[in-house]
Amino acid sequence: MSNYRIQGATGDWEVVLGLEVHAQVVSNAKLFSGAATEFGAEPNAQVSLVDAAMPGMLPTINAECIRQAVRTGLALGAQINKFSVFDRKNYFYADLPQGYQISQFKHPIVGEGTVTLDLGEGRTKDVGVERIHLEQDAGKSMHDQHPQLTYVDLNRSGVALMEIVSKPDMRSPEEAGAYLTKLRTILRYIGTCDGNMEQGSMRADVNVSVRKPGDPLGTRCEIKNVNSIRFVRQAIEYEAQRQVDIIEAGGTIDQETRLFDPSKGETRSMRSKEEAHDYRYFPDPDLLPVEFDDAFVDAARESLPELPDDKKARFVEELGVSDYNAGVLVGEKESCDYFENLLSALAAKTGKDAKALAAKASNWVMGDLFGALNKASKSVSESPVSAKQGADLLALVEDGTISGRIAKDVFEIMFETGKDAEAIVEEKGLRQVSDTGEIEKIIDEVIAANPGQLEQYRAGKDKLIGFFVGQVMKATGGKANPGMVNQLLKPKLDG
Amino acid sequence: MTDLTKLTIAEARDLLKKGDITSRELTEVHIASVDAADALNAYIAKTPELALEQADKADAKIKAGEQKGMTGIPVGIKDLFATKGVHTQACSHILDGFKPEYESTVTQNLWDDGAVMLGKLNMDEFAMGSSNETSFYGPVKNPWRRGDTDTVPGGSSGGSVSSVAGFAAMGATASDTGGSIRQPASFTGTFGFKPTYGRCSRYGMVAFASSLDQAGTITRTVRDGAIMMESISGFDVKDSTSVDMPVPNFEAALTGDIRGKKIGIPQEYHLAGMPAEIEALWQQGIEWMKAAGAEIVDINLPHTKYALPTYYIVAPAEASSNLARYDGVRYGLRDVPQNGGLVDMYEATRAAGFGDEVKRRIMIGTYVLSAGYYDAYYLKAQKVRQLIADDFKRAFEKVDAILTPTAPSAAFAFGEKSDDPIAMYLNDVFTVPASLAGLPGSSVPVGLDANGLPLGLQILGKPWDEETVFKVSGVMEEAANFTAKPAEWWR
């Protein structure tokens, strides 16, 4: 249970949250037409006759979108409805060419499922999914292109969306954020939505209500089209406080649709319940009900990759990666791909079992790599050092060619130049010195050059061994194998 | 030389094959005939240049031995069908100036077979009407007159029937939502054929009520209907409701042999107040069927009386949504009041662009789909629709075809019913039930009433059994020997 509370004058208030996430389906063509769906095309360059609702044009279902919705349902452990119906949701708007949106109302393609939130420190929480239905997106009205006119871009018109409706199971802005994060991760893993919130391929309607803990549900307001996880949190914080203030001042909450203004950090009314549309839903007579068999569902299931929760469990239990590392790596598909590619390349190169390497490799990805990427403000997919290159570097440490210390320097150069580790090691002569005779020779020289320190050591100042190690390393330019130095130095100092 | 406009499609086909005539000759006389028939107001756009171009192509095809049933045959196209670069407005003001960039599948099928387009045909606005009085382009006149009084051609395919009855087309495409092919065929002494729902693609057909709309044909004979229907039929991936079934050779079904066929006579179609001569003609039709060796079986279609109210909920509901796209944003009429915003534009455009009947149906449809009324109207109507379809299903367990009058009256005069929507809607009382059930049906001209106006009988068949409908229609046609022609007053 979340203990997030809004402290009001009359006591603590609990926030109740439900999310409707609109996720653009990854598919080459729109839900009911053959037009392309690529982001960033010239306005109205990707519009078929169907998308523009020309007279006599008919929608035909794109089977790939159906498959993607089913895959999404399966990934959320949801009920798959082998019979579903497309309905028309009727309303007028300039960027809605048909005068109705084709959606699913009474019979959605996916029923109840679950998203497990990771709340940090090993805490999890299950949030129920009420349903997922498929629907077509509207176009875009552009009010800022002309002083009097509104321009309409229909590129998005007809693009397939999944509306993923949660149950009102969340109780804090953090949980809502964690839900969106987790959902996004899952969709990206299975490739049904690219999760790109800046480009609008994922956006959320947030339902917010407040109540005294234990009371029945309060009246909710719906905040439309919030397009980042940060804004979702901000919108909830503002909206919950607004509702508490109204109720405590003796008012009541009007059920209404609101908009979040990120520049002011506030929500404001869009339309009230009285102004709400009567959508006059009815089954679209241009489309037959969607029906498929178990074989279709089985094939969709078989096409699913390992899901994030399963992957994390495997990292921890089978590979010995720490719970924290596993959580972070699995959280972003690109990070996880990087780690897995690096680990398999490293195992191949060293001939060692992945289990023996995984913890170290995860530490390196999380530490050295992420540190450098953060500093350079780059994402994993923009990393100048590929997973294969990273594996080569770690392999050099594994086989004793270079020390861990030298590896850090080599990595810095790799990150800057994109060169391979081995080339840098050769070029700079960074190969570790593991020759007993050579190291012994240097030790002898160091001891001979520091008689005072040797006397003090032999008089009982044990800590001076560090000084001698330092001198040896310095004399070898850091290349001496530190284990061997320690091993050889002590007997000589002890005489 | 014989008047080529009086040929049937089958006759013209045979003469074209023999090389006795060319499509160009046939097309030229029809272009003249189209011009001579302006008084009927059947055509709202003529395409003579295109027609001649298509005719020449057809002649080349015939020469190359690639003739099909419709090759070189001049036809008219109901304004409901999208024809690339040509007037396509469903005879509504709101589609002013609209010329599509695409071709409907039905017309494409015709052109693929080498047919020739004479022009676009008048119709009730968005196919909403039973008298062709709701067209933005003015009413169509029936070639058949009641003495000196002009009569309506029926609707909504008024231009289609009038052009074919008036020898200004050898055949015409039409569409049937609640009777828009069969009722006007009956009013004009033509043969109207509506196939099973799903037999023809609706792609490129301006939608009225999607679950009911179905393309069909108007011809002067049953055989011509079979030839033209075969051309326009077929599965189309672009229409999810079209059905992937092979198209039979409909003409081959015209064997003239209906011995042993069971013909059902629905008792509920004996309407109180129906003209006695229609009852008598129906009885005559029954006798003809018997004489041809068919067995007459009384059947019951108990939910018949609910068909009209059901239809006038389902069709307007779908229409209210289908017509939402006419908003002034992308094509057709746009009316923006000074300083008006988006909603003002919608209101002004739709107020100016739609006629009264269309507005009436949009309002009825919007009402029956509204929250709080949906269950009582739309949902209930869907249930009744199923009961009506079940009635037919049970009946067709006992019979092969059903015989009824096509319409409860002959053609009426202009203005006689246009002030009374209910009286107008009653015209479709015999055609609507089969539309709701998606069944194939025809109207065969069988005689004249006391005023010299044609009357038709309706033949209905099982789903996908168009062949039996053609077969029975052919026998009826032969028995009735309907040879009367309208006096060509319009020339």
Q: Which of A54, A97, A100 sits opposite B321 (nearest CB)?
A: A100
The tens digit of pLDDT for each residue in A204-218 reads: 999 999 999 999 999
Whether A323 and A338 have beta carbons less than 8 Å apart is answered as: no
Report yes or no: B363 at the A interface, CB cutoff 8 Å. no
Q: Which of A52, A57, A280 sits opposite B370 (nearest CB)?
A: A280
Is residue A236 scored above 90 in pLDDT?
yes
Question: Closest approach of chain B CAs to the CA of A371, in angstroms?
Answer: 53
The tens digit of pLDDT for each residue in A379-433 reads: 999 999 999 999 999 999 998 888 888 899 999 999 999 999 999 988 887 787 7
User: Residues for chain B: how many in total?
Assistant: 491
Is residue B400 scored above 90 in pLDDT?
yes
Higher pLDDT, B394 or A199: B394
Is residue A108 scored above 80 in pLDDT?
yes
Is residue A1 scored above 70 in pLDDT?
no
Q: What count of Cα atoms within 13 Å lies in the side-chain half-sphere of residue A396?
A: 26
Three-class SS of chain A: CCCCCEEECCEEEEEEEEEEEEEECCCCECCCCCCECCCCCCCCCCCCCCCCCCCCCCCCCCHHHHHHHHHHHHHCCCCECCEECCEEEECCCCCCCCCEEEECCCCCCECCEEEEEECCCCCEEEEEEEEEEEEECCCEEECCCCCCCCEEECCCCCCEEEEEEECCCECCHHHHHHHHHHHHHHHHHHCCCCCCCCCCCEEEEEEEEEECCCCCCCCCEEEEEECCHHHHHHHHHHHHHHHHHHHHCCCCCCCEEEEEECCCCEEEEEEECCCCCCCCCEECCCCCCEECCHHHHHHHHHCCCCCHHHHHHHHHHHHCCCHHHHHHHHHCHHHHHHHHHHHHHHHHHHCCCHHHHHHHHHHHHHHHHHHHHHHCCCCHHHCCCCHHHHHHHHHHHHCCCCCHHHHHHHHHHHHHHCCCHHHHHHHHCCCCECCHHHHHHHHHHHHHHCHHHHHHHHCCCCCHHHHHHHHHHHHCCCCECHHHHHHHHHHHHHC
Report yes or no: A139 at the B interface, CB cutoff 8 Å. no
Q: Which of A165, A199, A158, A193 is nearest to A71 (CA)?
A: A193
Q: pTM of the full predicted structure?
A: 0.90
Report the C-alpha gap between A138 and A101 in whole angstroms.
Answer: 7
Residue of B nearest to A55 (CA): B206
Whether A282 and B365 have beta carbons less than 8 Å apart is answered as: no
Q: Which of A149, A131, A132, A130 is nearest to A141 (CA)?
A: A149
Q: What angle do CA A398, A400, A404 make, to 5 degrees?
A: 70
Cα separations in angstroms, A110 against A136, A297, A481: 16, 12, 60
| Domain end (from A265, A284, A301) | A301
Name the percent of chain B lying above pLDDT 70.
Answer: 100
Whether residue A289 sits in one domain with residue A316: no
The confidence score (pLDDT) of residue B336 equals 93
Q: Which of A52, A282, A288 sits opposite B240 (nearest CB)?
A: A288
Q: Which of A55, A92, A288 sits opposite B88 (nearest CB)?
A: A55
Report yes or no: B241 at the A interface, CB cutoff 8 Å. yes
The answer to whether position A52 is within a domain reads: yes
- Mean pLDDT of the residues in chain B: 97
Three-class SS of chain B: CCCHHHCCHHHHHHHHHHCCCCHHHHHHHHHHHHHHCHHHCCEEEECHHHHHHHHHHHHHHHHCCCCCCCCCCEEEEECCECECCECCCCCCHHHCCCCCCCCCHHHHHHHHCCCEEEEEECCCHHHCCCCCCCCCCCCCCCCCCECCECECCCCCCHHHHHHHHCCCCCEEEEEECCCCCHHHHHHHCCEEEECCCCCCCCCCECCCCCCCCEEEEEECCHHHHHHHHHHHCCCCCCCCCCCCCCCCCHHHHCCCCCCCCEEEEEHHHCCCCCCHHHHHHHHHHHHHHHHCCCEEEEECCCCHHHHHHHHHHHHHHHHHHHHHHCCCCCCCCCCCCCCCCHHHHHHHHHHHHCCHHHHHHHHHHHHHHCCCCCHHHHHHHHHHHHHHHHHHHHHCCCCCEEEEECCCCCCCECCCCCCCHHHHHHHHCCCHHHHHHCCCEEEEEEEECCCCCEEEEEEEECCCCHHHHHHHHHHHHHHHCCCCCCCCCCC
Is residue A303 scored above 60 in pLDDT?
yes
- Domains recognised in chain B with CATH numbers: 1-491 (3.90.1300.10)
The answer to whether position A485 is within a domain reads: yes
Q: Which of A61, A100, A278 sits opposite B371 (nearest CB)?
A: A278
Q: Do A282 and B240 touch (CB under 8 A)?
A: no
User: What's the sign of the alpha-carbon dihedral B319, B324, B326, B331?
Assistant: negative
Whether residue A133 sits in one domain with residue A45: yes
**Structure-token pair, residue A183:** 């959902």
> Residue B298 — very low, low, confident or very high, per pLDDT cuts 50/70/90?
very high
Q: Do A100 and B317 touch (CB under 8 A)?
A: no
Whether residue A449 sits in one domain with residue A416: no
**Structure-token pair, residue A134:** 């498929």
The confidence score (pLDDT) of residue A128 equals 98
| Domain end (from A301, A320, A344) | A301
**Structure-token pair, residue B320:** 């209210």
Whether residue A204 sits in one domain with residue A57: yes
Residue type, A304: L
Q: What are phi and psi of B69, to 5 degrees?
A: -55, -40
Report the C-alpha gap between A350 and B94 in whole angstroms.
Answer: 75
Q: Which of A137, A85, A135 is nearest to A108 (CA)?
A: A85
Is residue A472 scored above 80 in pLDDT?
yes
Report the C-alpha gap between A96 and B124 in whole angstroms.
Answer: 27
> Residue A478 — very low, low, confident or very high, per pLDDT cuts 50/70/90?
confident
Q: Do B325 and A58 touch (CB under 8 A)?
A: no
Contact residues on chain A for B240, CB-CB shorter than 8 A: 58-61, 286-288
Whether residue A238 sits in one domain with residue A314: no
Q: Do A285 and B370 touch (CB under 8 A)?
A: no
Name the percent of chain B lying above pLDDT 90.
Answer: 95
Q: What are phi and psi of A19, to 5 degrees?
A: -120, 140
Q: Which of A97, A150, A287 sits opposite B330 (nearest CB)?
A: A97
Number of domains in chain A: 3
Report yes or no: A69 at the B interface, CB cutoff 8 Å. no
Q: Do A49 and B101 touch (CB under 8 A)?
A: yes
Q: Do A97 and B329 touch (CB under 8 A)?
A: yes
Identify the residue among B243, B322, B382, B435 best suited for mutation to test binding to A, counting A beta carbons within 10 A and taking the highest. Answer: B322
Q: How big is chain B by its Cα radius of gyration, in Å? A: 21
Report the C-alpha gap between A5 and A400 in whole angstroms.
Answer: 55
| Domain end (from A428, A458, A477) | A428
Whether residue A384 sits in one domain with residue A243: no
> Residue B318 — very low, low, confident or very high, per pLDDT cuts 50/70/90?
very high
Report the C-alpha gap between A420 and A410 in whole angstroms.
Answer: 9
What residue numbers bound the domain in which A409 lies?
Answer: 306-428
Whether residue A85 sits in one domain with residue A224: yes
Residue type, B335: D
Whether residue A164 sits in one domain with residue A87: yes
Q: In this structure, what is the dihedral angle of CA atoms A166, A169, A175, A178, given to the nearest 10 degrees? A: -30
Report yes or no: B237 at the A interface, CB cutoff 8 Å. yes
Is residue B1 scored above 60 in pLDDT?
no
Contact residues on chain B for A57, CB-CB shorter than 8 A: 102, 203-204
Whether residue A222 sits in one domain with residue A310: no
Does residue B156 have a cis bond before it (omega within 30 degrees)?
A: yes
Name the percent of chain A lying above pLDDT 90.
Answer: 77
Low-confidence winner among A334-348, A432-446, B13-27 (lowest mean pLDDT): A432-446
**Structure-token pair, residue B462:** 């099982």
Active site positions of B, annotated: 78, 156, 180
The answer to whether position A289 is within a domain reads: yes
The tens digit of pLDDT for each residue in A118-172 reads: 887 778 999 999 999 999 999 999 999 998 889 999 999 999 999 999 999 999 9
Whether residue A209 sits in one domain with residue A78: yes
Which residues are B192's β-sheet partners? B218, B443
The answer to whether position A1 is within a domain reads: no
Whether residue A377 sits in one domain with residue A361: yes
The tens digit of pLDDT for each residue in B250-292 reads: 999 999 999 999 999 999 999 888 889 999 999 999 999 999 9
The answer to whether position A28 is within a domain reads: yes
Contact residues on chain A for B102, CB-CB shorter than 8 A: 49, 54, 57
- Mean pLDDT of the residues in chain A: 93
Around Cβ B36, how many Cβ atoms within 10 Å?
16
Low-confidence winner among A257-266, A268-277, B166-175, B357-366 (lowest mean pLDDT): A268-277
Report yes or no: B77 at the A interface, CB cutoff 8 Å. no
Report yes or no: B204 at the A interface, CB cutoff 8 Å. yes
Q: What angle do CA A426, A431, A435 make, to 5 degrees?
A: 140
Q: What is the CATH number of the domain that holds A441?
A: 1.10.10.410
Question: Closest approach of chain B CAs to the CA of A278, in angstroms?
Answer: 6
The answer to whether position A368 is within a domain reads: yes
The confidence score (pLDDT) of residue B132 equals 95
Find tokens 């202009």 and name the residue.
B414
The tens digit of pLDDT for each residue in B111-146 reads: 999 999 999 999 999 999 999 999 999 999 999 999
Report yes or no: B148 at the A interface, CB cutoff 8 Å. no
Whether residue A389 sits in one domain with residue A295: no
